[in-house]
Amino acid sequence: MNDRIPRRIEEAPARDTPMANTMALKQRFDAIRAASIALAAPLSAEDCVAQSMPDASPVKWHLAHTTWFFETFILSSAVPEYESVDPMFRVLFNSYYNAIGDKHPRPQRGMLTRPSLDQVLAYRRAVDEAMENLLAACSDTAVLDLMELGLQHEQQHQELILTDVKHLLSLNPLHPTYSSLTNASASSAEDPGATSWISFPEGLEIIGFDGEGFCFDNERPAHRVFVPGFELARGPVTQRQFAAFIEDDGYRRPDLWLSEGWDWVRANSIEAPQYWQRGGGGWEQFTLHGMRPLDPGSAVCHVSL
């Protein structure tokens, strides 16, 4: 994931009622920051420090990095004589921001047993308090826009927390459960059966953001592009359909694959989507709720391009 700082904060839409927007932003700040802590609540300290692969990050690092963002890009510049909680955090919890300075190598984030999880949580509380004090007296549009970016950024990392936790727990032969399934009998979708298609003619289309509210800088400007004609399925490929593809020797037929894909299948002994396993009653999948039977009507996930 590429974290982004807007190149021109001043391009953001003007706010008609700065105080009302500041109060709404404060409420969202409290809710989003609390949501990150809630995502970590079912996990042990050991869960939060482990890194299951170089492309993943420990939960503890996510909690610290999202805090580092607010401290580095807002508090350090907007609060006179602000003192960072720990100057070394500027290096430990930097991700891709080369202009900020040195950063700890991403594949080695799981080696950061210190600071402890408790210290990271204390770091969050200290920064949250400083942010609350800033928001109480701030109407600077540039600061509020960075606040909005920081909240969008943290919500991205909330998605990553769940993605990385799922991969981590899937490597445990005990198949641990992250959270209980609240409605085990509910299917997420109706199986559509045979796939039908919608045709779209070629033509000029407008893509990019051109409206009110938040967007990332790489979504601008809105511009026209030529799109060749194409067809789109009316729904995603279902787990039932993909299981039928597997049973029809889909992973053993080179005629169904481009050469690069076939080499990948052979080199990695791929025979199913990630997290699928054969159980006594057929295919099962590892989920954040533990091992579950396939949900035939829901979309297949974790297949490689």
Domain residue spans of the chain: 9-170, 180-190+237-305, 196-234
Residue-level pLDDT, tens digit, the chain, 305 residues: 444 444 333 344 444 555 667 888 999 999 999 999 999 999 999 999 999 999 999 999 999 999 999 999 999 999 999 999 999 999 999 999 999 999 999 999 999 999 999 999 999 999 999 999 999 888 888 999 999 999 999 999 999 999 999 999 999 999 999 998 765 544 555 666 678 999 999 999 999 999 888 999 999 999 999 999 999 999 999 999 999 999 999 999 999 999 999 999 999 999 999 999 998 889 999 999 999 999 999 999 999 88
d(Cα 217, Cα 183) in Å, to the nearest integer?
Answer: 39
Reported pTM: 0.88
CA-to-CA dists, residue 35 to 20, 30, 90, 216, 257, angstroms: 23, 9, 24, 22, 42
Contact 73, 164 (CB under 8 A): no
The 3-class secondary structure across the chain, one letter per residue, is: CCCCCCCCHHHCCCCCCHHHHHHHHHHHHHHHHHHHHHHHCCCCHHHHHCCCCCCCCCHHHHHHHHHHHHHHHHHHHHCCCCCCCCCCHHHHCCCCCHHHCCCCCHHHHHHCCCCCHHHHHHHHHHHHHHHHHHHHCCCCHHHHHHHHHHHHHHHHHHHHHHHHHHHHHHCCCCCCCCCCCCCCCCCCCCCCCCCCEEEECCEEEEECCCCCCCCCHHHCCCEEEEECCEEEECCCCEHHHHHHHHHCCCCCCHHHCCHHHHHHHHHHCCCCCCCEEEECCEEEEEECCEEEECCCCCECCCCCC
